[in-house]
Amino acid sequence: MPSITLAVTMPVIWQVNEDNEYQRQLAIRDASSDLRALIDTAHAGNKVSIAVCGVFELAVGDTGAIWGVHQDLGSQADDFSNLHSLLARRPDVSVKFRW
């Protein structure tokens, strides 16, 4: 079963609060082996797509975090923003998404 564990860390919240919106990211704390293998191939020149819960398609361009600046405009950016806002309500709390 695919799964990914994400969190918004306090250092990211501090950066965003200092008007560094470009620093918004979701820390990847864990992932199922199939997703981890895909994430491990990600870098700025090779963004991979992860459909969190099979629904929320996010671009991953880093092996350790999902960055807001990597998302396409529209629903992908909106989904990232909403997920970031939700997880930022509980800083450093890891949430596992399974599908």
pLDDT at 75: 96
- Cα(30)–Cα(22) distance, integer angstroms: 23
- Cα(4)–Cα(69) distance, integer angstroms: 20
Confidence of residue 23 (pLDDT cuts 50, 70, 90): very high
pLDDT at 18: 96
pLDDT at 20: 95
